[in-house]
Structure 1
Amino acid sequence: MNMLDVVWGYILVFLLAAVPFFESAVVTPVAILAGLSAIPVFILAIGGNLITVYIVIVFIEKVKRWRKKEDDGKRTGRAKKIWDKYGLPGLTLLGPFFVGSHLTAFLALLFGGTKKQVSIWITISIAAWSLLLGLLVYFGIDWFNVENKFLENIFNQAQ
């Protein structure tokens, strides 16, 4: 990969991590598998995801009005069960896998969490899951000495 491809790769990591339901927990391992350096990937993926989640938290009142127009009973019901059983920490730590981090932050605020509490817990959750999944991929490939020829071939053919 040349330098321009690497730069575009990091820009793509940041942008995709900011997209709801795609997020940093998915982008981090994929970017590491694609051959990007782990530390910049962690920083950019977590940063991209957190920026858009913080926007949801800051503009919660407008998001509530917009969200009422959509019927999302199944996801909301799943999140409510987690909230009732585990509270704010449980919802923010488990929610990103069931409903995404953006909707988790919104529902945590809707169910009674404060902006400050939700911001702290969702930051912990996004960072922890991204780091955990990224480290598992990073060290898992290293431990098993597996080279990812498939992804390398895709990137080489695109040139």
Structure 2
Amino acid sequence: MNTYLAYFVVFLLGATPFFEVVAVIPIGIAAGLQAFPVALAAFAGNIATILLLIALTDQTKRWLERRKEKKGKNNSEKKQQRAAFVWKKYGLPGLSLVAPFITGSHLGAVLAMSFGGTKKQITFWMVISIVIWTIIMGVASYYGIDYFFDRTNSDGFLTNLLD
């Protein structure tokens, strides 16, 4: 696969809700791509859609309400309850930092809006959160894969497993 196309796919997956930097960075690095460009592409994709969601707050809230009416009660209510608990206990910083794991950062941003956070506050804390998780996942994935697999073969560990 063309290298630029591979990084573009990482960008798109980073922009995809519930995939985000937490899952995309390890996958990209495990596939044999360079760690820094993978982290940068995943971060750019994730933050682009988060900022777009925040900018379109009112439209996003209306869309979520229509979606909830159509589907009725579902699994996202559990996620909302977990997010509300984190919001009450730790506020916006806490929700932003754990959102990639309990709800996904996209839904976390939307929930933060519905809990009363301002666009400026949510933007600040979501950027901080995504930067932190990008660094953590990039470093952990790079060194973790180094630990388990020989990176001298530029094909990546997926190729090594198939040999």
Counting aligned pairs with the same residue, the percent is 45
- Which amino acid in 2 is paired with 1:136? A
Would you say 1:129 and 2:136 are equivalent positions? no
Alignment of 1:1-159 (within 5 A): 5-69=2-66, 70=68, 71=73, 72-142=76-146, 144=147, 146-147=149-150, 150-152=157-159
- Which amino acid in 2 is paired with 1:131? I
Consecutive unaligned residues of structure 2, counting only runs of 5 or more, are none
The DSSP-based 3-state class of the residue aligned with 1:95 is helix
TM-score under structure 2 length normalisation: 0.86
- 1:16 is displaced (CA, Å) by 0.5
Find the aligned partners of 1:25 and 1:145 in 2 and give their Cα distance: 19
Find the aligned partners of 1:153 and 1:139 in 2 and give their Cα distance: 17
- Which amino acid in 1 is paired with 2:158? L
TM-score under structure 1 length normalisation: 0.88
The DSSP-based 3-state class of the residue aligned with 1:68 is helix
**Is the CA contact 2:31–2:157 (under 8 Å) kept in the aligned structure 1?**
no
- Which amino acid in 2 is paired with 1:48? G
> For 1:67-101, what per-residue CA distance to the aligned partner results, in whole angstroms no more than 9, with x for missing partners?
01215321111100000000000000011101000
Find the aligned partners of 1:141 and 1:73 in 2 and give their Cα distance: 35
The DSSP-based 3-state class of the residue aligned with 2:86 is helix
Find the aligned partners of 2:38 and 2:85 in 1 and give their Cα distance: 33
- 1:141 is displaced (CA, Å) by 2.8
- Which amino acid in 2 is paired with 1:137? S
> For 1:82-121, what per-residue CA distance to the aligned partner results, in whole angstroms no more than 9, with x for missing partners?
0000000000001110100000001111111110110111
